[in-house]
Amino acid sequence: MKYYSLNKKAPAVTFDEAVIRGIAPDKGLYFPESIPKLPVSFWENIEHLSKDEIAYTAMKPFVGDTIDDDSLTEIIADVLSFEFPLVELEKNVATLELFHGPTMAFKDVGARFMARCLGYFLEKNKQQEEVTVLVATSGDTGGAVARGFYKVPGIKVVILYPSGKVSEVQEKQLTTLGENITALEVDGNFDDCQAMVKRAFLDEAITNKRQLTSANSINIARWLPQSLYYLFAFKKLKEQGKSDNLVFSVPSGNFGNICAGMVAHLMGMPVKQFVAAVNSNTTIPRFMESGKYRPAPTVATISNAMDVSDPSNFIRVLQLFENDKNLLSEKFTSFSYCDAQTRGAMRHIYSNLEYTADPHGAVGYLGLKDYLKNEPDAYGVFLETAHPVKFLPAVEPVVGKITDLPKQIAVLMDAKKESINANSYADLKNYLLRS
């Protein structure tokens, strides 16, 4: 499998090169030359396969022979060493819990997979030069990437995060590890952080000195393994005879997760519809309505990991559907919800369904319920993308004080925060040139 640049002005490359580079030399996102169709026998037998077997079959065509089979098997077993429960909450509505990994957000899978692939390639190439993973985070990416790459030899991680716009738990996750992880605290929002990162990748003064790569969902090794969540859900629903007319509602920010779900669909998984549920950052629902792509200034919300107004991966969503909005709208719908609606949903889910949703999952629930209104025969799954304790200020007013923190989180609360202020691009550049 080769990957080409969506800007079409750079050569196609193999999986390893695309992972190491992150972004193509012409600044385009890498995209697979084709989406492999998995064999009919795979879909017929999926309920008898383990999650590692499913993952191996789905990832192998993307990886090709850049990773030997035994190593790929090992990487997958290591990356997927926790559960992905599907919990039915009401008739025809289930939630897929993606928060059982080390940082309790779904990004753990992509970040761990990328870290292990990159570590493997650097070792295989006997590379001497250190690689710097430079990443902007709206909240959960930073923690997942920090944990995924923690102490991986040959890799330094620099994370930019918007000061005061991530939750306390999220901030602890990215500022307390130390070692090869550095957090830069930016006086701005996520889009400002992302703009600084993009500029650094174009800055030859920096790239001549350091080998940079990204660990945002634009990196194919973070993006593609997210398709596994959908396969795991499909397997469980097929076991229960509930996999017909399947609808996935995905709380979306940068649109990497939902785009990976659509990849799983194009690999042969039958899905009726994907619903992209967003908060008050409404660029995509407005685009689906008007055909005009007009990012507005980013709005801060209680589902802060989705506070993105110019989602990087939407170009990939369009590419999967031949850049044809009409074709896309047959499989893809997008709805937006304000914070008051999100709080209302959290309350409803807690009081009536006896389940604690985090604000992102609650947005996903709202999107699913709106879509299902006209589709009584569909079965809907909304993705719970983070554990509710990651968002205590939004969750506690609904469910009361949470004292029983999961152990992954409890150990962080007393750890000391260490960050470096970066209030302008010059600060970032200085840091990258001097450190």
Per CB under 6 A, residues contacting ligand PLP are: 105, 107, 139-140, 217, 251-257, 305-306, 360, 385-386
CB of 30 to ligand PLP, least distance (A): 16
As measured in angstroms, the least distance from the Cβ of 262 to ligand PLP is 12
Q: How far is the CB of 42 from ligand PLP (least distance, A)?
A: 25
Nearer to ligand PLP, 60 or 361 (CB): 361
Residue found by looking up tokens 């761990």 in the block: 112
- Least separation in angstroms between CB 98 and ligand PLP: 9
> Minimum CB separation from ligand PLP for residue 250, in Å?
7
DSSP 225: G
Q: Where is 399: in which H helix or E strand?
A: helix 392-399
CA pair distance 224, 259, nearest whole angstrom:
9
Q: Which is nearer to ligand PLP, 109 or 158 (CB)?
A: 109
Instruction: Tell me whether residue 46 or residue 278 sits nearer to ligand PLP (CB atom).
Output: 278
Which CB sits closer to ligand PLP, 138 or 243?
138
Tokens of 400: 């009361």
- The CB-of-38 to ligand PLP minimum distance in angstroms stands at 23
Closest CA to 346 of 336, 364, 333, 359: 359
How far is residue 186 CA from its own chain's centroid? Answer: 21
**Residue 13 or residue 169: which is nearer to ligand PLP going by CB?**
169
One-character DSSP codes across 53-113 = HHHHHHHHHHHTTSS-HHHHHHHHHHHT-S---EEEEETTEEEEE---STTSBTHHHHHHH
In sign, the C-alpha dihedral spanning 320, 96, 175, 343 is positive
The β-bridge relationship of strands 420-421 and 379-384 is unpaired
Nearby residues of 410 by Cβ (< 8 Å), 6 or more positions away: none
The residue (of 55 and 284) whose beta carbon lies closer to ligand PLP is 284
